[in-house]
Amino acid sequence: MKCNGDFSRTTEQYGGHHHYLPFVHSFNYFLPRERYFGAHPEWYSKVGEERVNHPYSQLCLTNSAMREEFIRNVKDSLRLHPEAGFVSISQNDSDADFRYCRCEACSAVAEEEGSQAGPILMFVNEVAEAIEKEFPDVWVETIAYQYSVPPPKHVKPRKNVIIRICTHGNYAIPLSEGEENRATREAIEGWSRIADNLYIWNYVTNFLSYLMPHPNLYSLDEDIRFFVKNKTIGLFEQGDYYCSAGDFVALRNYLISHLMWNPDLDAEGIVDEFLTGYYGASAAPYLRIYWDLLSRAAVDSRVHLTMVRSSTADWLEVPVYAQAEAAMRKALEVTKEKVYRDRIRREQIPLKFVLLSEFQRFRDYAQENNHSPVALPDPEEVLTEFMALLNEFQVTMVREDFSSNPHHLAGLENDLRHRLFPEEDKK
Ligand SMILES: [Zn+2]
């Protein structure tokens, strides 16, 4: 299915897969500040008057001694990793305070190039040229991410350099549409004018909560076609890894891999095929209604469906929720076989999660309207049932947060409890 990237577990017998060294955010990997900052603070980014010694610091990319040491370390690493087909020379990850270098030389390059991608690409091109002779089959990759998304005005990627553009926008609609997707769209079009080929790093889930409905299904096909039209030959569709039961993860996996195999396929057709084959012909029409309801609600509400959402309140109104919940209930009702029933029960997790995490909103609606289209059972009971459901389907990580890994479910239960019983907090 062309799922042969760095994370793929495809064995050699089935064609193997590509290896990155390392996967991304490699400035600190090749030039660890823990080892070098003491002797060479001038190799690291300057912000204000300070050279930054911080997990999110970057490099002073115009410093030639730094570049020499960096290239030496890249070559040493590649010799140790003959399996690597790509070496990633990419900016460290960042919080909102982008700590790229503001020294005079770096700033001048960025100014001239109209983008922070300028100094990065010049540096990456130099690495690419330096390793080319010894490693003619290795691609040198960098990311266009956060502050380096806009393409530079003059410098172009060298022939052995790959640009991987990270998307950002409203995923309820195709990236090729809408004002809020303009920056990503223009970046992809701009880079495709100066690069032979592109790679895309796209985000297909909600990283703040894997369990929340994320109605982006029907723009996934258009997005892949847009990428391909702009010379994309490598695509990383980052979903909710580490989670075994998020929002219809099996459907997403099937849909995305079929589209990567053939971008001309249409998402709705693949969705129907999967719903019928995986949940049974009886349940499929109701699950299709479920998805159509949620997708339409997201588009009609004009919500900005980013990759980090903490609530559905601004797009999923209570009456629509009630219809979606009824469709889901019906899907289970008409299904006899245990194997299908278990799969459908698992897909009930997102709606149940919404009810629990936004319970107050449902209570308020019932009060204001003197009736509730959604059954509002005893919250304590729903919570117990919900946690049992998560355990049954072996949900471990519920969001992208590595710090609290072993306690994820306990953390989630606490959080839900605070929301359900705010009065207990006051005691
Ligand atoms: Zn600098």
What residues are paired with 236 via a beta bridge? 201
Expressed in angstroms and rounded, the spacing between residue 145 Cα and the centre of ligand 1 is 19
Expressed in angstroms and rounded, the spacing between residue 67 Cα and the centre of ligand 1 is 12
Q: Tell me the C-alpha distance between 314 and 298, whole Å.
A: 9
Q: Tell me the C-alpha distance between 138 and 132, whole Å.
A: 8
Q: Which pTM was predicted?
A: 0.94
CB atoms within 10 A of CB 348: 16
Expressed in angstroms and rounded, the spacing between residue 405 Cα and the centre of ligand 1 is 37
- pLDDT at residue 403 is higher than 90: no
Burial of 43 (0-12, 13-18, 19+ CB in 10 A): buried
For residue 122, the SS3 value is helix
Expressed in angstroms and rounded, the spacing between residue 104 Cα and the centre of ligand 1 is 7
pLDDT of residue 426: 63
The pLDDT tens digits for 297-338 are 999 999 999 999 999 999 999 999 999 999 999 999 999 999
Expressed in angstroms and rounded, the spacing between residue 53 Cα and the centre of ligand 1 is 14
* Closest alpha carbon to 218 in 251, 262, 241: 251
Mean of the per-residue pLDDT values of the chain: 94
The DSSP symbol for 206 reads -
Amino acid at position 336, single letter: K
Q: How confident is the model at residue 423 (pLDDT cuts 50, 70, 90)?
A: confident
Expressed in angstroms and rounded, the spacing between residue 100 Cα and the centre of ligand 1 is 8
Expressed in angstroms and rounded, the spacing between residue 46 Cα and the centre of ligand 1 is 6
Amino acid at position 392, single letter: E
pLDDT of residue 74: 98
The pLDDT tens digits for 158-184 are 999 999 999 999 999 999 999 999 999
**Which residues make Cβ contacts (< 8 Å) with residue 123, sequence separation at least 6?**
59, 61, 62, 67, 89
Expressed in angstroms and rounded, the spacing between residue 42 Cα and the centre of ligand 1 is 8
Expressed in angstroms and rounded, the spacing between residue 30 Cα and the centre of ligand 1 is 17
pLDDT of residue 406: 47
For residue 298, the SS3 value is helix
Two tokens, residue 351: 């709606």
Q: Tell me the C-alpha distance between 262 and 47, whole Å.
A: 46
Two tokens, residue 33: 């500040």
